[in-house]
Structure 1
Amino acid sequence: MTATMPVPGGFDEFEMYEVLEQACEAAGLDCSDARLLRGHTNAVVLLGNEGVVVKIARRGSRIEDVTRTVRFVSWLMDSGFPTVPLHGIEQPIVIDRHAVTFWTYLFTPEHGITAQGLAKPLYSLHTLGMPPFNIPRHDNLQAIRNSIASITSLPDGVIQFLSECADRLERELVGVEFELSEGVIQGDPQHRNALYAQDGEVVLCDWDTVAIGQPEWDLVTIEVHCRRFGHGGNHYRAFADAYGFDVTCWTGYATLSAIRELRMITTNARKTHHSPGSLAEVERRVEGLKLGDRMQTWNIL
């Protein structure tokens, strides 16, 4: 990569590695073999010599939000909940107003995690009880509106269409009657937000979107990912059977799934100035939304 090529987190390569090197030096970790793993949102880097994953929060992330995530995961660990553990240092480390966290590296086979594998830890989360400190309330519609306000890569007419979709779904949501008890939700549970622990247990990760809300939001997210990313109906049904609740048979399913898909579209649309190669996929999804094509397969961004 060149020094001007955009990389995850909204940094250029030189700046990202400057932050990484300073944070690792402060943590007493060797980053000589650092390798970028992923991150349409945050910069996620593996330190192979250390067995540690470093997450540099996306440019502009609030330090207090990252601090709250660290506190939440510490609470999960103390509760014996199946989560990717924090690396044992004081966190986050802040470099030039960028929050950096450190996590134990867990290997995941190439085939990844099945939706069925997510059912047990997700059910455990939904029935865990409330933490002894405040976390945000889940609000998909506000997140959608925030993203729409930040989109710069789509025509005004498309942005207006997305805004009108949000208005309509907000009206529909008023009439939705939830069945499950409110509690802690992950906010974005999916195949890529889980890993295998050394004993083979599936553990959850990526807690940036944790919130208080209705479990139905997490369940519909699993269903959308199964349907949109080519996993198929049987894959989802195995999850629903293992969890004990099929969100597709619930009266609020159509509204929640449409809201979840709109959030995924608008979130990715907001990020295209950092990842220009994703614009064509965003435009394709918008066209599918206009056509009402619920079975259109999406490419992972």
Structure 2
Amino acid sequence: MTTTAAAEASRTHLFQACHLAGLETADARQAEVIRLGENALWRLPGGIVARISREGQHRAAAREVAVARWLASNGVPAVRPIAELEQAVDAGGRSVTFWQELPPHRPGTTANLAYLLRQLHALPVPADIDLGRLDPFVRLGDRIEEADVDPEGRAWLLDRLAQLREAWANLPAGMPECVIHGDAWTGNVAVLDSGTALLLDFERTSIGPPEWDLTSTAVSRGTFAELSEADYLAYCHAYGDTNVQLWAGYPALRDMRELRLVCFALQAALQHPHAREQAALRLACLRGLRGPRPWQWRAVP
């Protein structure tokens, strides 16, 4: 689907959602695309951002709103849903949620992220939200089966997936499980001009080991050398002098994160031919064909 066609299809869902939520049709006509991806984001008049989910994600969308409200009630700085509007509106099979548009802001730092994670992980598990337990392998099997790779590469990926499933089932003891963000990287932190850092995007929020959240930044340091040692140590200190790389279960979580990044690139390559080279590079690195870490991977759509 072309970008234009995708935008028009997404706008159709937006029109339906605005009507059901009681917003003016003119608001949908004036909406501007922020991002079209697995989820579509639209900017509406009046400081409202509409988030349109993938098909079949109503439960997840409703959970995101519930998590954001729970964070607000516990004083954790985070993006807020619009209280006056109906949430998780079903528009042609897509769930649409409405959020307060952020004022001028900049990307967060790893120290900002660590501080927010420390607050999140310290909260008691809410009794009234069905968060479910973290599944680090969600959709990976489907992405591998659909990937444009040779039979040997597919067999290797499926074997790797099976090995990591077993490792997940046998993780060594670590910190107590808690509510985790699930996709904890600096792209999900925004810092306002006032200096307040906000946590964003609760699609993957669940119950799980806090080490999963900490591993994302550790991978930036160890797998890709994108983070200096000083910045990484500042991150560890801001969280509470905890270095997840020293935990016996870290290599398994690192490998799971890396496999997810490879599978994401393989999925992107199906729609974006220019991503094929990057997908092939990532798979070769994982298979030990491009030398030891750190690896130089580029972003894919």
Confirm or deny a common fold (TM above 0.5). Answer: yes
TM-score (normalizing by structure 1) = 0.87
1:233 offset after TM fit, Å?
Answer: 3.1
* 1:17 matched to 2:11: yes
Provide the residue aligned with 1:95 in structure 2. Answer: 91
Specify whether residues 152 and 171 from structure 1 end up closer, same or farther in structure 2 by C-alpha distance, changes over 3 A only: closer
2:140 to 131, 138, 144: 144
Provide the residue aligned with 1:300 in structure 2. Answer: 299
* 1:289 matched to 2:289: no
**2:276 aligned partner, one-letter code:** L
Contact residue 11 and residue 28 of structure 2 kept, 8 A: no
Identity %: 27
Provide the residue aligned with 2:49 in structure 1. Answer: 53
Q: Which runs of 4+ in 1 moved over 6 A?
A: none
**2:278 aligned partner, one-letter code:** E
Deviations 1:46-77 (A, max 9, x none): 23x3222211102x232122122222222222
1:235 offset after TM fit, Å?
Answer: 2.5
* 1:80 matched to 2:75: yes
1:242 to 238, 245, 249: 238
Contact residue 229 and residue 300 of structure 1 kept, 8 A: no
2:113 to 105, 112, 118: 118
Contact residue 131 and residue 207 of structure 2 kept, 8 A: yes
Provide the residue aligned with 1:182 in structure 2. Answer: 177
Matched position secondary structure for 1:81: coil
Deviates more, 1:216-225 or 1:151-160: 151-160
Gaps of at least 5 residues in structure 1 are: none
1:189 offset after TM fit, Å?
Answer: 0.6
Contact residue 113 and residue 191 of structure 1 kept, 8 A: yes
Specify whether residues 232 and 85 from structure 1 end up closer, same or farther in structure 2 by C-alpha distance, changes over 3 A only: same
Specify whether residues 22 and 141 from structure 1 end up closer, same or farther in structure 2 by C-alpha distance, changes over 3 A only: closer
Contact residue 229 and residue 298 of structure 1 kept, 8 A: no
**2:236 aligned partner, one-letter code:** A
Gaps of at least 5 residues in structure 2 are: none
CA RMSD of aligned residues (A): 2.3
Provide the residue aligned with 1:251 in structure 2. Answer: 248
Contact residue 52 and residue 95 of structure 2 kept, 8 A: yes
Provide the residue aligned with 1:131 in structure 2. Answer: 126
1:58-69 superposed matches below 5 A: 58=54, 60-69=55-64
**Distance in 2 separating the partners of 1:52 and 1:289:** 41
Deviations 1:218-253 (A, max 9, x none): 100122234537233332222111112101111221
* 1:207 matched to 2:190: no
Matched position secondary structure for 1:235: helix
